[in-house]
Amino acid sequence: MKDKKNISKAHYCVLDDDQLFLKRAELKLTSNLKKNYCGSFVSTGIDAIDIAKKTPLTLFIVDIDLGTENGIDIFDKIKKITPQSRVIFITGDKKMMQDASLRKRALEEGGIDFITKPVEWTELTIKIRNNLELMSHQYWLEERVQERTNMLIHADRLATVGTMVSSIVHEVSTPLTFIKANQETCLYAWKKAEGKIENPEVIDMFEALIRPSLEDSLHGVLQIENLLASFRKFYKKEEKISQEDVVLVLKDVNTLTTYAIKKNNIIFTINNFLTDSFIVKCNKQELLQIITNILNNAIDALKDSSKTNRRLYLTLENDKLSRILIRISNNGPAIPKDKVEDIFEPFFTTKLEEAGTGLGLYIVRQILQKTGGDVHLENRTKEKPTVDFILTIPTVPQRR
Ligand SMILES: Nc1ncnc2c1ncn2[C@@H]1O[C@H](COP(=O)(O)OP(=O)(O)OP(=O)(O)O)[C@@H](O)[C@H]1O
Ligand SMILES: [Mg+2]
pLDDT at 9: 63
Of 179, 205, 235, which residue is a domain's last?
235
Q: How many CB atoms lie within 10 A of CB 338?
A: 8
pLDDT at 120: 93
Same structural domain for residues 15 and 113?
yes
Which segments of the chain does DSSP mark as H helices, in order? 19-33, 45-54, 71-81, 94-98, 100-108, 121-193, 200-205, 211-235, 246-263, 284-304, 360-370
Q: What is the CATH number of the domain that holds 105?
A: 3.40.50.2300
Same structural domain for residues 276 and 367?
yes
User: What averages of pLDDT result for each successive group of 10 residues across the chain (400 residues)?
Assistant: 51 95 94 83 96 91 92 93 91 81 83 89 93 88 81 73 77 87 90 87 90 92 86 71 87 88 92 76 88 94 86 91 92 94 89 79 90 94 96 77
For residue 271, how far is its CA from the centre of ligand 2 (angstroms)?
23
CA separation for the pair 346, 1 (Å, rounded): 9
Looking at ligand 1, which residue's alpha carbon is closest to its atom 3? 301
pLDDT at 6: 42
Q: Which residues contact 39 (CB under 8 A, 6 or more apart)?
A: 11, 12, 13, 14, 26, 29, 30, 33
Residue 318: beta bridge partners? 324
Same structural domain for residues 379 and 249?
yes
Same structural domain for residues 185 and 322?
no
CA separation for the pair 11, 173 (Å, rounded): 62
Question: Cβ < 6 Å from ligand 1: which residues?
Answer: 297-298, 301, 330, 332, 335, 343, 348-351, 356-362, 387
Same structural domain for residues 339 and 314?
yes
Looking at ligand 1, which residue's alpha carbon is closest to its atom 19? 358
Say how many domains are in the chain: 3
Q: Does the pTM of the predicted model rise above 0.75? A: no
Same structural domain for residues 181 and 251?
no
Dihedral sign computed on CA atoms, order 53, 54, 55, 58:
negative
Same structural domain for residues 216 and 279?
no
Of 183, 206, 235, which residue is a domain's last?
235
For residue 308, how far is its CA from the centre of ligand 2 (angstroms)?
22
Closest ligand (CA of 347): 1
The total number of residues shown for the chain amounts to 400
pLDDT at 238: 64
CA separation for the pair 40, 11 (Å, rounded): 8
Domain that holds residue 285: 242-394
Q: Is residue 399 part of a domain?
A: no
For residue 317, how far is its CA from the centre of ligand 1 (angstroms)?
24
